[in-house]
Structure 1
């Protein structure tokens, strides 16, 4: 029996309902089953101010076009989210990411954990390696520039929290958000920033 599951949800807009129910074995494409294709698709959905999906892309593919397309179709077609609110209380666009795992009977595909959006090397960590991650929520302008940044999952280190927002601006600069018509819009993104000590291995996930 073919299996499809969405086990890992990245920081982002709040789903309404259980995202694991948005995709199941019946979504496994017949051609992918016939060709014994399996893997992991990371989908990135643009959610509009009403909480509905308007666009979907696959920044990290499974190696199968059919599986990636099916992942986008299921998550964007069935997903619903709470509207994302900015500092003034108004709803805005937002980016949602989710990992979809495709498995067939037999050996399981390699399934890595959530990877950081940016890894920063420092001379010495002020906290343990396990505590040296920060999640930020950024509001970005239509051109991709950072309008504001909030630390939503802080490290115990204030210094790392401050640096995360500074370096995070580089991530949005090259990733503007577009709507269903392809027009660039103002919206929110969440990013995971990981700090590692120079010469040290990153913490195990």
Structure 2
């Protein structure tokens, strides 16, 4: 937000160290955008949202990995009209909250077509903790949940 208020744009190059579970463990800015706030936002967002297919060695064992990439930060064109997706646009994200509050087994549909955009699971669900779900006796349980987001025409 600080960079947006200052109308700063730029590209940050980074390296992520990925653990055996496909989760980023460390983010290093390899080429700065020239803005500390953009560089920090790059690593902050990647550490929270990035998820990778678990890398395997020749024997099929999980191994750590490195991912290099770039993020370009651009300000929206204030004069451009807002873009809406096709209507209706109904996104359904189905996932499980495990007994410890972690999430797993996420899938998404867009307008009831599978698969929906895979990045929606990483952005909205995976890697986050949700309130622990309990049964009638108060014991933590694994619970299937669905989040529904959409845009549709409203009648007057």
TM-score in terms of structure 2 length = 0.46
Bigger share in helix: 1
TM-score in terms of structure 1 length = 0.35
Task: Specify which structure has the bigger relative contact order, considering alpha-carbon pairs within 8 angstroms and separated by 6 or more residues.
Answer: 1
The higher radius of gyration belongs to: 2
